Structures are given as C-alpha cells and as structure tokens.
Amino acid sequence: MPGEAKKACSGACEECSRRRFTAVGLGAVAIAGAGSAVFGYSFLSPNALYEPSPIVDAGKPDRYPLDSVTPDVASGLYIVHRAEGIYALSAVCTHLGCLTAWKPDLGIIACPCHGSKFHADGIKFEGPAPRPLPWLKTWVNDDGNLLIDRSEPLTQKQFVRI
C-alpha cells in the first residue's frame, strides 16, 4: 500500500526461510555434481601403467674399459668388458629379486638380501639364488651406441665385439 513503511525482517520470515532452503539445496546439488564429475573422469580415464622402455642406451662402448664391470643401478644391470667383448648382465638377484651390488675389491657380485654371490659372468657360486644372473641382449646401433634390452634375457652367452 502506498505510504506503508517496509518492515525490517529479522530473518525468520517465510521468504527468508525459503531463500535459505533454496541456497542450501543448490549448494548440495553443486557438491554432488562436482563429485560425480571427478568420479566420472577417473572412471573414464584409461587405467594404464606407463613403464620406462626396457631398452637402455648405455652410450659409446669405449666408455667401458677392458676388464671392467660397470653397474648401472638406475637400470638394474651391469656392463662388463672382457677380452671376448662386452656383455650386459641383469643386476636383479634370481632368488627374490633384490638388487645385487658389484664388489670391486673382491671382484664379485653380491646380493645384500640373503648372501648370494655371483662371478662377473653371472654364475652363482654361493647362496640361495637358484639361477645365474641372466645375460641381456646387447647390440650396437647405427649411432655407435651400446643398447641393452632388459626384457630379453639370453639363453647363451653373447659378446658385442668392438
């Protein structure tokens, strides 16, 4: 009505209650929508495991002096240079999969977990490991780099002659 003064609301009127109810409802819908979007995205994303390539580029063969054993801890292998040529050995123990270590003072490869010991050609001479350390396929590519395929253990010894 003209001339009627608007009353100040204390927040308890029906209109204020309806507004609060609407705001809470919209907030709940927004949170549920966001949650659904997150779970939907993770459900639709491929559940793939991205592993590094099994092929290791070990650089130029002349990096490995004659009669040396060079551990590559990051790749889990040894690069060995003998008079017959270069070969690569897996550094993963054939017992329970621990990473072995080259002991230059003793000239052996030793496993810290249960004490298996191997010669530099991978042959086990002590401890519970059931098999020698596997030789890995090794070759020189067109750029003259030594490549090692960790996914391909060899069934017989193979040297890369340089």
Task: Name the site residues for ligand FES (rule: CB under 6 A).
Answer: 93, 95-96, 98, 111, 113-116, 127-129
Q: Residue 62 or residue 126: which is nearer to ligand FES going by CB?
A: 126
Nearest approach in angstroms of CB 92 to ligand FES is 9
Q: Residue 64 or residue 135: which is nearer to ligand FES going by CB?
A: 135
Nearest approach in angstroms of CB 126 to ligand FES is 10
Exposed/middle/buried for 125, CB within 10 Å: 0-12, 13-18, 19+? exposed
CA angle 15, 19, 23 (to 5 degrees): 170
In DSSP terms, which residues pair with 81 in a beta bridge?
A: 68, 86
Q: Residue 129 or residue 160: which is nearer to ligand FES going by CB?
A: 129
Nearest approach in angstroms of CB 83 to ligand FES is 29
Nearest approach in angstroms of CB 123 to ligand FES is 15
99 close to 92: Cβ distance less than 8 angstroms: yes
Q: Residue 55 or residue 113: which is nearer to ligand FES going by CB?
A: 113
Closest CA to 72 of 7, 150, 12, 2: 150
Counting every residue, how long is the chain? 162
Exposed/middle/buried for 23, CB within 10 Å: 0-12, 13-18, 19+? exposed
Q: How far apart are the first and last CA of the chain?
A: 104
Nearest approach in angstroms of CB 114 to ligand FES is 3
Q: Residue 59 or residue 112: which is nearer to ligand FES going by CB?
A: 112
